[in-house]
């Protein structure tokens, strides 16, 4: 029996230390003992400062009150010194690991393109295999990371706030068309309803029956949390949206292949000295793959 398989058996029996060791094994590039694609997850994304972690904390409260277990993979920016996660999300989730029904794992981006790593999918599979009912992936929430989360999550909740100026301009990167549900957090602020209406108007252009719903929510007061969870349970996706998600999965797999290529360091050195062009570098990487 392999070490990973033994860790999985212990994790399934409720041993959190074994679960953490198994997830570390996967994060470091080890093989997963669980069949791929067996788990499902909810991706929560959005710009920094809109209250994603606080909102997740409130959602955890609702799930645990119902007796449901929750596992959160919180993707934090990497420390420039250690390369590890800065653990900011864990600090903002006041109920993190406060119950046997809650498990929070902080992950470092390690400067991966898009801010997300290929190991997320097998991690989700392991957590599902160990019986975690609700599995959440929270992104760092900046730029490409907002879109790349669709490569790993089955449902996407986009969180935004009313205090970021031109909300539609800020989301022009395309995550709005990939989201299954959009939550405008901080609904107690004066411009919350205006921001929600602006998003609804933007989504109405070329809308179909599967246009994502826009809901108001407050992580501060707890208003709208149960409505968000219920709406997420009712979401469906479209063929066009699923095609975009498959595209992001392919790009993510290529990024991972590029970063693990045996030729990556020598190629970078050659580019740095000018002894190789970008076209030649791409061809060398492809040969190494």
For the chain, the three-class secondary structure string (H helix, E strand, C coil) is CCHHHHHHHHHHCCCHHHHHHHHHHHHCCCCCCCCCCCCCCEEEECCCCCCHHHHHHHHHHHHHHCCCCEEEEEEECECCCCCCECCHHHHHCCCCCCCCCEEEEEEECCCCHHHCCCCHHHHHHHHHHCCCCEEEEECCCCCHHHHHHHHCCCEEEEEECCCCCCHHHHCCCCHHHHCCEEEECCCCCCCHHHHHHHHHHHHHCCCCCCCCEEEECCCCCCCCHHHHHHHHHCCCCCHHHHHHHHHHHHHHHHHHHHHCCCCHHHHHHHHHHCCCCHHHHHHHHHHHC
Comparison of pLDDT for 274 and 247, the residue scoring more: 274
pLDDT tier, 83 (very low <50, low <70, confident <90, very high otherwise): very low
Q: What is the pLDDT of residue 170?
A: 46
Q: What is the pLDDT of residue 209?
A: 62
Comparison of pLDDT for 114 and 134, the residue scoring more: 134
- Token pair of 245 as six digits: 């998600």
Cα–Cα distance, 10 to 5 (Å, whole number): 9
What's this model's pTM, rounded to 2 decimal places? 0.81
Q: For the chain, what is the mean pLDDT? A: 81
Does the pLDDT of residue 37 top 60, yes or no?
Answer: yes
Percent of the chain with pLDDT over 90: 38
Q: What is the pLDDT of residue 248?
A: 77
Does the pLDDT of residue 95 top 80, yes or no?
Answer: no
Domain spans of the chain, in order of start? 1-33, 36-237, 239-289
Range scoring the smallest mean pLDDT among 5-14, 56-65, 258-267: 258-267
Q: In sequence order, what are the beta bridge partners of 100?
A: none
Q: What is the pLDDT of residue 260?
A: 75
Residue of 150, 192, 224 whose CA lies nearest to 50: 192
Phi/psi for 43 (5° steps) reads: -95, 130
Q: What is the pLDDT of residue 102?
A: 95
Comparison of pLDDT for 219 and 162, the residue scoring more: 219
Q: What is the pLDDT of residue 133?
A: 97
Comparison of pLDDT for 107 and 219, the residue scoring more: 219
Does the pLDDT of residue 208 top 80, yes or no?
Answer: no
Does the pLDDT of residue 103 top 70, yes or no?
Answer: yes
CATH number assigned to the domain covering 36-237: 3.40.50.300
Q: What is the pLDDT of residue 25?
A: 94
Mean pLDDT of 249-278: 85
Does the pLDDT of residue 24 top 60, yes or no?
Answer: yes
Q: What is the pLDDT of residue 135?
A: 97
Percent of the chain with pLDDT over 70: 78
Comparison of pLDDT for 181 and 164, the residue scoring more: 181
Q: What is the pLDDT of residue 49?
A: 81
Q: What is the pLDDT of residue 206?
A: 61
């Amino acid at each position: 029996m392999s070490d990973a398989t033994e860790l999985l058996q212990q994790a399934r029996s409720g041993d959190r230390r074994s679960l953490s060791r198994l997830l570390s094994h996967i994060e470091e590039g080890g093989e997963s003992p669980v069949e791929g694609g067996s788990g499902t997850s909810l991706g929560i994304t959005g710009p920094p400062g809109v209250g994603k972690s606080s909102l997740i904390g409130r959602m955890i409260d609702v799930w645990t009150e119902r007796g449901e277990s929750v596992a959160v993979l919180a993707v934090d920016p990497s420390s420039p010194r250690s390369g590890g996660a800065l653990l900011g999300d864990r600090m903002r989730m006041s109920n993190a690991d406060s119950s046997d029904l809650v498990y929070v794992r902080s992950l470092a981006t390690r400067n991966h393109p898009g801010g997300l790593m290929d190991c997320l999918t097998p991690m989700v599979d392991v957590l599902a295999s160990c019986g975690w009912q609700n599995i959440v992936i929270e992104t760092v929430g900046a730029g490409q990371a907002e879109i790349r989360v669709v490569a790993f999550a089955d449902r996407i909740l986009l969180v935004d706030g009313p205090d970021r100026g031109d909300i539609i301009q800020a989301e022009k990167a395309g995550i709005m068309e990939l989201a299954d549900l959009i939550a405008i957090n901080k609904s107690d602020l004066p411009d919350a309803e205006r921001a929600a209406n602006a998003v609804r108007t933007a989504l109405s252009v070329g809308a179909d029956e599967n246009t994502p719903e826009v809901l108001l929510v407050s992580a501060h007061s707890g208003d709208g949390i149960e409505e968000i969870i219920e709406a997420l349970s009712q979401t469906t996706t479209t063929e066009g949206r699923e095609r975009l998600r498959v595209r992001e999965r392919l790009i993510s797999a290529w990024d991972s292949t590029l970063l693990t290529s045996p030729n990556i360091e020598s190629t970078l050195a050659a580019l740095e000295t000018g002894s190789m062009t970008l076209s030649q570098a791409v061809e060398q990487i492809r040969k190494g793959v």
